[in-house]
């Protein structure tokens, strides 16, 4: 994994926000042919949060961003860039980041969405860090936010039991004072030959909206779940091993692994292939399901908020998703952050 050069990059604070409504496995049993036992055994998911009608990705992103800025101790005037990783933007354009920047009143900040499947979160963290390391920006608000519940076919048990809505955020900065962690290295990859494994095919250039695209259900998330499962199990262990090697860090020296919270079985099997105890993983997918580009931010924020990550510990964050993209980023904890009890 290439180490960052240039100016050091720090994480100053984290935040998250999920919608109020909780959808349980038992409720899903009444909606599609599934069982609580199947969902728990195959995924580890117990509940997920679902946005209220009219509650948009930008609303969740804004709330998570405000909390991250508060814990970071930065103001809107400090922000140089807002990056939002999302696969469920309010609209294709304008992007969510521009709306959030406007809601914040961050008048000296740029804004851009990063759309790279669930890995968008890691891409956005790496791009924000690269901009700071290069001297382009001093403070970047990086958000992952999704309202995938609007894009899911609630009759398709292959997808509807998996996903949840939510947003998480991180403030990256060149400012060392009071920092929570330092960004060390990152590696980003893609295998675009597998672009058909997860897609949302309807409504744009390839399949402009029509009665036929509605009939063919093209305006909903389509996923070949089992093929994704196999791809990740095959690609990720070697990639993570190589990444650590290139960063000069052994997998055994990573204190905490924050995986994309897609499936507990994926997390366990990838870690076992790396020879790492599954107990080294930070997991909260049982509460939130797969929140796509937000998931690693929710896991990071909750771990920070309860003081689970200690100074000196190394954290590897990794994700995978539509594209197929995958990537990782390594941080080293410096302070204890904002323990919130």
Closest distance to ligand UT7 from the beta carbon of 167 (Å)? 16
Per annotation, catalytic residue among 118, 121, 160, 244: 118
3-state secondary structure of 149: helix
Pick 26 or 107: Cβ nearer ligand UT7:
26
Q: Tell me how crowded residue 16 is: count the other CB atoms within 10 A of its CB.
A: 28
Catalytic residue (one of 25, 87, 175, 290): 290
User: How far apart are the C-alpha atoms of 76 and 108, rounded to whole Å?
Assistant: 8
**Catalytic annotation present for 25:** no
Nearest distance from C-beta of residue 297 to ligand UT7, angstroms: 14
Which residue, 140 or 228, is less far from ligand UT7 as judged by CB? 228
Q: Which is nearer to ligand UT7, 62 or 123 (CB)?
A: 123
* 7 versus 42: smaller Cβ distance to ligand UT7: 42
Using the 8-state DSSP alphabet, how is residue 204 labeled? Answer: S
Q: Cβ(259)–Cβ(13) under 8 Å?
A: no
Q: Cβ closer to ligand UT7: 198 or 247?
A: 198
Is 139 known to be catalytic? no
State which residue, 15 or 321, has the beta carbon closest to ligand UT7: 321
What CA–CA distance (Å, rounded) separates 31 from 87?
24
Out of 49, 87, 175, 260, which one is annotated catalytic?
A: 260
Is the bond preceding 324 in cis, omega lying within 30 degrees of 0?
yes
Place of tokens 């400090």: 78
Q: How far apart are the first and last CA of the chain?
A: 34
Task: Give me the least distance between CB of 311 and ligand UT7, in Å please.
Answer: 32
Please report how close the Cβ of residue 233 comes to ligand UT7 at its closest, in angstroms: 9
Q: Would you tell me which residues interact with ligand UT7 (CB under 6 A)?
A: 34, 38, 42-43, 118, 157-158, 161, 198, 225-226, 228-229, 262-263, 290, 292, 321
Sequence-ordered alpha helix ranges (H) in 114-172: 120-133, 157-160
* Rounded CA separation 262/321 (Å): 9
8 Å CB contact between 167 and 100:
no
Per the annotation, the verdict on 49 as an active-site residue is no
Helix (H) or strand (E) holding 101: helix 96-104
Indicate the residue whose CB is closest to ligand UT7.
Answer: 225
User: Do 178 and 10 form a contact (C-beta atoms < 8 A)?
Assistant: no
Q: How far is the CB of 77 from ligand UT7 (least distance, A)?
A: 36
Alpha helices in 170-294 (DSSP H): 211-215, 225-246, 264-274, 285-288
Least CB distance to ligand UT7 at residue 318 (A): 12
What residues are annotated to the active site? 118, 260, 290
């Amino acid at each position: 994994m290439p180490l960052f050069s240039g100016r050091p990059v720090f994480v100053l604070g984290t935040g998250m926000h999920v919608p109020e409504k909780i959808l349980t496995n038992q409720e899903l049993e009444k909606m599609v042919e599934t069982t609580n036992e199947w969902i728990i055994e195959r995924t580890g998911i117990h509940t997920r949060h679902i946005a209220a009608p009219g509650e948009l990705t930008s609303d969740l992103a804004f709330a998570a961003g405000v909390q991250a800025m508060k814990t970071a101790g930065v103001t809107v005037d400090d922000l140089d860039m807002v990056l939002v990783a999302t696969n469920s933007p309010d609209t294709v354009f304008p992007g969510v980041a521009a709306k959030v920047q406007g809601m914040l009143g961050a008048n000296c900040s740029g804004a851009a969405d990063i759309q790279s499947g669930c890995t968008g979160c890691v891409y956005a963290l790496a791009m924000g860090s690269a901009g700071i390391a290069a001297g382009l920006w001093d403070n970047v608000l990086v958000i992952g936010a999704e309202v995938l519940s609007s894009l899911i076919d609630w009759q398709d048990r292959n997808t509807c039991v998996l996903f949840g809505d939510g947003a998480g955020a991180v403030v990256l900065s060149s400012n060392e004072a009071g920092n929570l962690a330092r960004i060390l290295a990152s590696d980003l990859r893609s295998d675009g030959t597998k672009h058909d494994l997860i897609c949302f095919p309807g409504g744009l250039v390839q399949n402009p909206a029509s009665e036929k695209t509605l009939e063919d259900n093209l305006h909903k998330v389509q996923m070949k779940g089992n093929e994704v499962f196999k791809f990740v199990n095959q690609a990720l262990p070697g990639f993570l091993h190589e990444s650590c090697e290139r960063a000069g860090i052994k997998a055994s020296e990573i204190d905490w692994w924050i995986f994309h919270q897609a499936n507990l079985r994926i997390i366990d099997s990838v870690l076992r292939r790396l020879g790492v105890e599954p107990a080294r993983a930070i997991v909260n997918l049982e509460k939130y399901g797969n929140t796509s580009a937000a998931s690693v931010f929710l896991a990071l924020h909750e771990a920070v908020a309860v003081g689970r990550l200690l100074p000196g510990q190394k954290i590897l964050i990794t994700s995978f998703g539509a594209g197929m993209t995958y990537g990782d980023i390594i941080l080293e904890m410096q302070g204890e952050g904002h323990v919130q009890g």
